[in-house]
Amino acid sequence: AQTVTQSQPEMSVQEAETVTLSCTYDTSESDYYLFWYKQPPSRQMILVIRQEAYKQQNATENRFSVNFQKAAKSFSLKISDSQLGDAAMYFCAYRSANTGNQFYFGTGTSLTVIP
Amino acid sequence: DGGITQSPKYLFRKEGQNVTLSCEQNLNHDAMYWYRQDPGQGLRLIYYSQIVNDFQKGDIAEGYSVSREKKESFPLTVTSAQKNPTAFYLCASRFSGPRQPQHFGDGTRLSIL
């Protein structure tokens, strides 16, 4: 099984500031997909952003962007201009492009946004 | 509106009782998944199904069973063999295709009476 590690159980950021959440993964494969999901207090998981491993360009979605370092097996999420609504658990997930349909999730980072 | 519906939102189980969690989707998704979420442990895969009448065990399938008789439905039964069933259960679905993400329901919280 693949391993996805989120080493920051909790993070906090001042409103309007920028925060970066870390994620590393362990794989021997070269083709895969990476995802960040957000789980607000309502508990519904929402897709934030995804990255294809074959793409060198980092994915961006409005205020959310990633720093994908394939050689280092690192996939961090940057949230710019943080808003109160960004407060949530954030999960990093990995999926192989070739073997099976399983997604592997990290243990999550709880983000607090300070007004 | 298209989406994934999990019911009930809260469920209580007595000792020795089997309970079934419902998951229905009207997104025409091919694959469906069940996850268990415990504090500090992220999401762990229980079962998944890529097509009707076929499903595979995930990492923690013991004490659980599923069926996939219709494309839209993927119910999860928590059997009495599952000794620690108290958790938050999430159902997800997705289209086939490697880059397709999972979409999630709102979850069911199961507790022991």
Express each pLDDT in A37-83 by its tens digit: 999 988 889 999 999 999 989 999 999 999 999 999 999 999 999 99
What span, in angstroms and rounded, lies between the C-alpha atoms of A77 and A82? 12
The answer to whether the CB atoms of B58 and A102 lie below 8 A apart is yes
Find the residue in B nearest to A6 (Cα).
B42
What span, in angstroms and rounded, lies between the C-alpha atoms of B15 and B4? 29
The answer to whether the CB atoms of A44 and B105 lie below 8 A apart is yes
Q: Which residue has the higher pLDDT, A84 or B81?
A: A84
* Nearest chain A CA: its distance from B16 CA (Å): 28
Q: Which residues pair with B36 in a beta bridge?
A: B44, B89
Percent of chain A whose pLDDT exceeds 90: 84
| Cβ neighbours around A40 below 10 Å, total | 13
For chain B, what is the largest distance between any 2 Cα atoms, rounded to a whole number of angstroms? 42
Q: What pLDDT is stored for residue A42 in this prediction?
A: 85
Closest Cα partner for B85 from B65, B102, B55, B57? B65
Beta strands B103-104 and B76-78 are unpaired
Structural tokens at position A40:
């607000």
Buried b (16+ CB within 10 A) or exposed e, A93-104: bbbbeeeebbbb
Question: Which three-class secondary structure state does DSSP give residue A108?
Answer: coil
User: Which chain B residues have a beta carbon less than 8 Å from that of A97?
Assistant: 98-99
What span, in angstroms and rounded, lies between the C-alpha atoms of A113 and A12? 6
What span, in angstroms and rounded, lies between the C-alpha atoms of B112 and A29? 41
Evaluate if residue A93 carries a pLDDT over 90. Answer: yes
User: Which chain B residues have a beta carbon less than 8 Å from that of A89?
Assistant: none
Beta strands A10-14 and A109-114 are parallel
Q: What pLDDT is stored for residue B13 in this prediction?
A: 86
Q: What pLDDT is stored for residue A67 in this prediction?
A: 97
Find the residue in B nearest to A48 (Cα).
B101
Q: Tokens 């069926």: give the residue.
A: B67
* Nearest chain A CA: its distance from B18 CA (Å): 25
Q: What pLDDT is stored for residue A100 in this prediction?
A: 67
| Cβ neighbours around A24 below 10 Å, total | 17
Q: Which residue has the higher pLDDT, B101 or A21?
A: A21
The answer to whether the CB atoms of B40 and A43 lie below 8 A apart is no
Cα-flanking dihedrals φ and ψ of residue B100, to 5°? -75, 130
- Tell me the pLDDT band of A1, cut-offs 50, 70 and 90: low
- Tell me the pLDDT band of A9, cut-offs 50, 70 and 90: very high
Q: Which residues pair with A61 in a beta bridge?
A: A64
The tens place of each residue's pLDDT in chain B, 113 residues long, gives: 679 999 999 999 888 899 999 999 999 999 999 999 998 778 999 999 999 999 999 999 999 999 999 999 999 999 988 889 999 999 999 998 878 899 999 999 999 88
- Tell me the pLDDT band of A98, cut-offs 50, 70 and 90: confident
Structural tokens at position A54:
């074959």
